[in-house]
Amino acid sequence: MALLKAGGRWASSVCDTEVIVVKGPEGEVSLTCGGVDMVEAGSDPVSGELDDSGDGTQLGKRYVDDEETLEVLCTKPGAGSLGANGNALQLKDAKPLPASD
Amino acid sequence: MLLEMAAGGFGDRVAVGSLDGGLTVKQVFDHAGVAAQRFRSANVENVAMIDITSPSLPICLFGASWAGLPFVPLNYRLTNQELDALLERISPAIALMQPETQERTSGNLDVHSVTRDELVASSNPEIEIPTDWNMDGEDTAILLFTSGTTGEPKAAVLRQRHLVSYILGSVEFMSAGEEEAALISVPPYHIAGIAATLSNLYAGRRVVQLPEFDAEKWVELVRSESVTSAMVVPTMLSRIVDHLVSEGTDSPGLPTLRALSYGGGKMPQPTIETALKLLPDTNFVNAYGLTETSSTVALLGPDEHREAFSSSDELVRRRISSVGRPLPAIEVSIRDEQGNELPSDEPGEIWVRGEQVSGEYKGLQLTLTEDGWFPTHDGGWLDKEGYLFVTGRIDDVIVKGGQNISPGEIEEVLLQHSAVADAAAIGLPDQQWGEKIVAAIVLHEEQEADEGELKDSVKEKLRSNRTPDEIVFLEELPYNETGKLLRRVLKEQLVDLGDGSTV
């Protein structure tokens, strides 16, 4: 369990996935990838076995929980899928803005 | 982080330059790594750029971030003295500049130099590319000196978290098709030049650069490089429109240009209306933003342009002169002088809040309120649907007989007169009223309008205290090179002229 602050970078313990937190809920969250706890980027991974039954993560895509209180952006893709407090995160639909610069 | 993602996602796409011979995203990434190592080993505090835009811009910008150093683009048109004064404030520094620029700077300063070619030279085997790319959100990404029309220029601080918030909040990763290309003609020391470099790279859109704006070259580049989108400031658009008009009925138009965004100053309504007619297949976007807000905070999109343009409802039609609605991650509030929120349709000061908003100047107290609002010093109002209208800098407000009058509304009316090419209203000292309204007018070639006629045109549309007391005809109005009207310079010119003279 950890507090997920916007801008925080987290790495999978069991695959190549890395994410950056775009929006985090107020309380602590257990953020997982491939079923195993993610760790702050740069720190040692925790041990566990990769569950690669999901679709994995895609570079540049956003993932949200059901209430959309948590949003992360995938900065490195991997085989594991993301979860928070035991529930799978969902791919968020892009709502493109017109380019302004 | 943004470049690292782009290199991982679409490293083979061309990031900057022509499809044939441009630098790929992967090449920019590798060069930025080499640059980062060079910047680190120079033992400096800042990475400056005193140069026109070139493929070295993204390399220098990302290399500085990689090295954890602020990137400080300076206006290469400053005088030698002004340049030295700024360099002194940021030294020890390394600066991207050409030898002829280096000769202009004082040798006494602790400023190393690196040239354009040195940054894009093929990879140097002696320099090892650093593998750590763990920049901190609190690192200063950019220091941008404001134009400094009064007193010493202030250095706006944009941290990594501001820029990353802006990009993540407004651009979808790899959302551009492979055939897309954006033309950047604003200089590197303008926030729009930086924002365009970042957002197009993140979207996977090739960037074509025009170092020094010229309407004919701009049009040529759009055609030869099959440019699909571009950002221009108002003076650029009016010159582009003039150029297209001069091509006559044989003009091939700009068929590849899908999107044209404009911002960075007030766009005369006739210019945008002519542009909409000349380029019927182009999507127009009006963007409003400031350096201190990491570029765009509100925009008027293509559909809103069309809707406003074709509507018979005056309330919808006038939105063509609005800057649209705030970005999803931005809040806008209109405040009175005491900081109280004002209801819709009431003019006041524009305040903005959001993760991308910095409001910080180096060495000065943070200008954000305790709850994160940034007072922009821009005047404006919101309509009932939340469209934002910007009336101009609050400091430019004319105070006549105790009434606050915004020059913008007077200028807008004057510009609708068919003989008027450009107009500016300013306040000059007046014994009776405190200030009087003087309108400086530039007429189109071979067209005429007299003083009474112009005054009447304002009287018909606005309250009577908005009618200019004097009309002065000038050959041209003073602008800086990024299209900002220099009101202070104009004021000095008019004071020197005395009353009602014609130049």
Q: What tens digit of pLDDT does each residue of A37-80 get?
A: 999 988 898 999 998 888 999 999 999 999 889 999 999 999 99
A contacts of B261 (beta carbons < 8 Å): 98-101
Q: Beta strand A90-91 with B14-16: parallel, antiparallel or unpaired?
A: unpaired
* From B8, B9, B231, residue closest to A101, measured CB to CB: B231
B contacts of A98 (beta carbons < 8 Å): 259, 261, 283, 285, 299, 301-302
Query: How does B388-409 read in b/e, with b if 16+ C-beta sit within 10 Å?
Result: bbbbbbbebbbebeeeebbbbb
Helix (H, G, I), strand (E, B) or coil at A3: coil
pTM of the model: 0.87
How far apart are alpha carbons B158 and A8 in whole angstroms? Answer: 18
Tokens encoding B179: 């055939």
Chain B interface, Cβ < 8 Å to A: 1, 4-5, 8-9, 134, 137, 161, 164-165, 168, 170-175, 182, 192, 195-196, 199-200, 203, 205, 229, 231, 259, 261, 263, 283, 285, 287, 289, 295-296, 299, 301-302, 327-328, 355
**Torsion sign over Cα B193, B266, B290, B301:** negative
Per the CB < 8 Å rule, is B134 touching A7? Answer: no
* From A42, A59, A94, residue closest to B175, measured CB to CB: A94
B contacts of A42 (beta carbons < 8 Å): 134
CATH code 2.102.10.10 for B2-184? no
Tokens encoding B142: 């950019």
Q: Residues with Cβ < 8 Å from B126, sequence gap 6 or more?
A: none
* From A20, A73, A98, residue closest to B259, measured CB to CB: A98
With CA atoms as reference, the chain A residue closest to B194 would be A101
pLDDT in tens, B165-214: 999 889 999 999 999 999 999 999 999 999 999 999 999 999 999 998 99
How far apart are alpha carbons B233 and B227 in whole angstroms? Answer: 17
- Quick one: DSSP state of residue B19? T
Reported CATH class of domain B397-497: alpha beta
Tokens encoding B425: 């209203």
Among B336, B315, B337, B338, CA closest to B386: B315
- Residues B449 and B420 sit within 8 Å (Cβ to Cβ): yes
Q: How far does the CA of residue A48 sit from the closest CA of chain B (Å)? A: 25
Q: What pLDDT score does B486 carry?
A: 87
Query: Boundaries of CATH 3.30.300.30 in chain B?
Result: 397-497
Dihedral pair phi/psi, residue B198, rounded to 5°: -70, -50
pLDDT in tens, B246-304: 999 888 999 999 999 998 877 888 888 899 989 999 999 999 999 999 999 999 999 99
Domain limits of chain A? 9-91
Query: Boundaries of CATH 3.40.50.12780 in chain B?
Result: 2-184
Q: How far does the CA of residue A100 sit from the closest CA of chain B (Å)? A: 6
Taking 80 as the threshold, does the pLDDT of residue B468 lie above it? yes
Q: B372, exposed or middle or buried, with CB in 10 Å at 0-12, 13-18, 19+?
A: middle
Q: Between vectors from CA B321 to CA B318 and to CA B326, what angle results, nearest 5°?
A: 105
